[in-house]
A and B are shown apart, each in its own frame.
Chain A
Amino acid sequence: MLVSPLSLLRRPQWLSLPAIAILFVAFGLPIAWLFLDSLAAPNYSLAYYKAFFAQPANIRVLFQTVEISAIATAISLAIGYPVAYFIARSSRRLRMALIVLVVIPYLTSLLARTYAWIVILGDQGLINNLLRDLGIISRPLALIYNRGAVYVGMVHIMLPMMILPLVSVMMGIDRSLMSAARSMGARPFAAFWRVFMPLSLPGVRSGCLLVFVLCLGFYITPASLGGLKDAMLSTFIAAQATSSFDMARTAAAAFVLLGIALLVLALFGADLGSAAGPGGTAPRRGLLARLLPAGLLRRIGESATPWRASRWKAELNRSGHASRIPGRLLALGAGLVITFLLFPGIVVVVMSFSGGTFLEFPPSSLSLQWYRSFFSDPSWTGAAWTSVRIAAVVALFATVIGSLAAYALSRSGPRLRGAVTLLLITPITIPVIVVGIAVYLGLVQFNLIGTMSGIIIAHTLGAIGYAVVIVQATLANFDTRLERAAMSMRAGPMRTFRRVTLPLIFPGILGGAVFAFIHSFDEVVISSLVSGMSLRTLPLKMWENMRHQIDPTIAAVASLMMLLPVIWMVAIYVNWQIGNRAARLPDGGDNT
């Protein structure tokens, strides 16, 4: 850095510049070009947009896309919130283990995971065969190729995206506030609802927004698990991008989708991390956020105050026992959800040991042949090594750049924060195929197609988005008074950042790093474009292999892919613990 770090910390807004710069050059310019293209430049008309809306099917699928995304988000929140709560209040060791378990399914390659669901839900799948063998059914239940299966698949993929921001926010909530509420006579549920829940809203908001906008771009899952009707706009866009090279028409459809994402972000508040100001000013919220039930219910709750006061006396005499049963229920629920998350991955792992030549569950015989075929083939191992290197660099870049940006944004005005955040997450909010084309057009200017640097830049764009969202969510609950306190004790800005801010937001940074790594490691669409036929990442090699045959090598590779980031996370965790011990600072939720 040319500017002194001191001045950067005084005007932290500048810290988001690296993120903006990389985004602008590699993505912003080409996307602007695409946008002009969709406006039929240089003549400028709305012809492509008119043509889009002239088709009733497009409008219907647009509504359906929003509906499916909203329902998938709601289910993810309903399931994810209690799990996140459970994780956040676990001991550190258990918490780390649970986080790893939650993230693992996200590491299962999309392809293998989709197959796993077909194997589980299919007409001749695990569940149907089990029920038939038990004599409960005679004809297979229609568990797949319908909307329900789409939700199962989507929620499964999105839950980690919901749970991680929630956990990182919940861990930042001072638990003594709950105890304080209890000591004042609030029953456990009231303490949760009136103290904990409102404080966790930044996590809810960022989790929901992240999940919703990602859902908007889905198409592989609805296409492979849904019925004929269950198309989403991206299904149409992908088919269009595939079947004709009419970029303007494809771009128009993509910008409609982006428009919806923007609309939703505007309604619900784009500022994912609204830092509480020194005076504890209420975070600025979006239009609908202000109407969230918490506020309404609080008002209703006021009327019950006298009754509650009489309750309190009774409660005082038997403190502490009431929370046990919900606690067990919570643990049971979290266990079930984690089973749901892990099951397809387990199916993939088991299938990888198949002795047959097909993906089947349970395998008719067991063997290590598919692992042998992986390790004995340099094209597989070479691709794996390429992917690991790329993902590691991407994780490093994206985490540093994204955390700086998130830090800067948390110190910015809400308007600027909203706008910049929106900008930074565009690469993950618009259909991946459009991102791929835009990035391609950007990289080709610098002759970076087919180079590792090109792929790293392409992956970093999306990875920054994940890092920014997750770190911002953590920063939202960060009490800036701690920094002032440190400064008042004569700590310099750098020292304050290193000793106070950084340790407190480290869980968020770590989460961001994991997602950045995974984003790169599993990416196939953008890579296929910018690899220029000369670089083979692991997912690309998998695609190439699968064009002709589906053999369980894919399952073996998918199993190994799950393993690798887990090792990586454990390594980081060990580092983190050592670092924490040195800093002797609590990480927020460790005092339980």
Chain B
Amino acid sequence: MNSTINRRKFLGTSASAMALATVPAVARKANAQGAGEVRVLVGGGDWGKANIDAYAKPFEAETGIKVTAITDQIEMAQLELMATTGNVTIDVVNINQGAALPAAAKGQLEAIDYSIYKPEELEGLVDFAKQPFGVAALIYSYVMVWNTETFPADKPRPTNWAEYWDVEKFPGVRILESGQYGSEGPWEEALLAAGVPADKLYPMDIDAVFASLDKIKPHVRRWWATGSEIQQIMHDKVADVMNSYDGRAGILINQGAPIEVNWNQAKLNWDYWAIPKGSPNVVAAQKFIEFATRASNQSVFAQLIPYGPSNLNAYKTIPEDIGRKLASHPDYITKSIPMNMAWYGEVGADGLSNADRLVQRWNEWILL
């Protein structure tokens, strides 16, 4: 049982209940589907709008296949319910890798037909983007963020997680992400701070994680749990150095907030385009995903909303000032750490996944 919630897009814990919302209402309309249609779950808000403008509309224009964009998002439980009830009403979903992996393991996702991809597009897609069950749709990251009033560019400032942990050398109020969901938390950062090399993080040593967290615990003013919360904290200038989703920091920087992103040791996570098994329009769905992962189309998308493309060739046409704000920029991706969600989902002999284990340890740790 892996953690699936995608809090970059989710606001609060109670919204997570939406993770369980299902789609039988859509089911009734599904019968009306024609052959030349593809039903795509594009996500809500600006994200959904960007998906529609960059992918859905141009795809319709190019292929004549009608795209029904559903501005909502899907989580593992919904896939599970669709699969178990045999009532698949969606052709393309956009899901977090944490949700995609277990779904793929249970055989709930169609195999991606890579034969329809042009060689140069395949080449541009980063390695972890090309999975048998899905193609990465966008890349985002967890980054260190400086308050530039405390840590201006011309003064020494923490450049990596070991220095973030060094409260003597870099005094200041710290903010870190909460680990209550297990699958996302300050785990990798804690290990990096303890001197574990970036390529030796997985499998994570949970004892070492918490030993490292013990050291920083008294200095952390707030352990944030939602994207909107960290956004508000950065806006209110509550802290001197924090961690955040890159997109949330980007919004504030565009509004002129005195913060700056440190792209060193950024932790990468991503969403996949995938096709639920049993989709009524598999062929059209395959075409849609191929279309949505082309460099040219991802370039349009990245200019609408600050999420990094998975096809690095997109950067050839993204203006430099915008590209510099994206997690998968060629200069950043080399010094970033891709999250290994497969490790989080690994289930031990006791039936608990590593994410479950992290939740249990976290719950004990916070109450001490």
Contacts and interface: CB of A to CB of B under 8 A. Distances in A.
A57 B364 contact: yes
A444 B84 CA distance: 14
A550 B17 contact: no
Contacts of B76: 245
A224 interface: yes
Given A64-B367, A231-B363, A543-B11, A528 B18 contact: yes
B295 interface: no
Contact of A547 (B3, B11, B77): B11
Contacts of A532: 21-26
Contacts of A534: 25-26
Contacts of B356: 244
Interface string B58-98: 00000000000011100011001000000000000000000
A274 interface: no
Contacts of A124: 236-238
Which of A57, A223, A229, A533 has the most B CB atoms < 10 Å from its CB?
Answer: A533
Interface stretch (B129-137, B176-184, B319-327): B176-184
A240 B182 CA distance: 9
B109 interface: no
A123 B14 CA distance: 25
B44 A548 contact: yes
Interface residues of A, number: 65
A518 B359 CA distance: 34
B2 A223 contact: no
B23 A533 contact: yes
B19 A546 contact: no
Contacts of A359: 232
A447 interface: yes
Contact of B360 (A57, A244, A433): A57
A449 interface: yes
Given A223-B13, A437-B20, A532-B23, A229 B46 contact: no
A238 B13 contact: yes
Which of A111, A118, A547 has the most B CB atoms < 10 Å from its CB?
Answer: A547
A245 B80 contact: yes
Nearest to B353: A244
B222 interface: yes
A122 interface: yes
Interface stretch (B162-170, B223-231, B278-286, B330-338): B223-231
B197 interface: no
B235 interface: yes
Interface string B333-368: 000000000000000000001011001100110110
Nearest to B78: A533
Contacts of A451: 25
Contacts, number: 178
Contacts of A528: 15, 17-18, 21
A61 B363 contact: yes
B117 interface: no
Contacts of A357: 255
Given A223-B225, A548-B45, A246 B1 contact: yes
Contacts of A56: 364
A415 B316 CA distance: 76
A220 B232 contact: no
A132 to B, nearest CB: 13
Nearest to A436: B17
A526 B17 CA distance: 8
A366 interface: no
A118 B226 CA distance: 14
A145 interface: yes
A241 B16 contact: yes
Which of B12, B80, B359, B366 has the most A CB atoms < 10 Å from its CB?
Answer: B12
Nearest to B23: A533
Contacts of A235: 13, 180
A380 interface: no
Nearest to A542: B11
A62 B235 CA distance: 35
A545 to B, nearest CB: 7
Nearest to A534: B25
Interface string B196-231: 000000000000000000000100111101011101
Contacts of B72: 533
B5 interface: yes
Given A55-B360, A223-B225, A228 B22 contact: no
Interface string A54-91: 01111011001000000000000000000000000000
A440 interface: yes
Interface string A501-542: 000000000000000000000001110110111110000000
Interface in B125-184: 173, 178, 180-183
A449 B22 contact: yes
Nearest to B344: A243
Which of B23, B46, B366 has the most A CB atoms < 10 Å from its CB?
Answer: B366
B11 A546 contact: yes
Nearest to B49: A548
A525 B178 CA distance: 22
A224 B14 CA distance: 12
Interface of B: 1-5, 9-26, 44-47, 70-72, 76-77, 80, 173, 178, 180-183, 217, 220-223, 225, 227-229, 231-232, 235-238, 251, 255, 353, 355-356, 359-360, 363-364, 366-367
28 contacts: A55-B363, A125-B236, A228-B366, A229-B367, A238-B13, A240-B359, A241-B20, A242-B16, A242-B19, A243-B4, A243-B359, A244-B353, A245-B76, A436-B17, A449-B24, A450-B26, A451-B25, A524-B17, A525-B14, A531-B21, A532-B21, A533-B70, A543-B11, A544-B71, A547-B44, A547-B47, A547-B227, A549-B46
Interface of A: 55-58, 60-61, 64, 111, 115, 118, 122-125, 145, 219-220, 223-224, 228-229, 231, 235-236, 238-246, 357-360, 432-433, 436-437, 440, 444, 447, 449-451, 524-526, 528-529, 531-535, 543-550
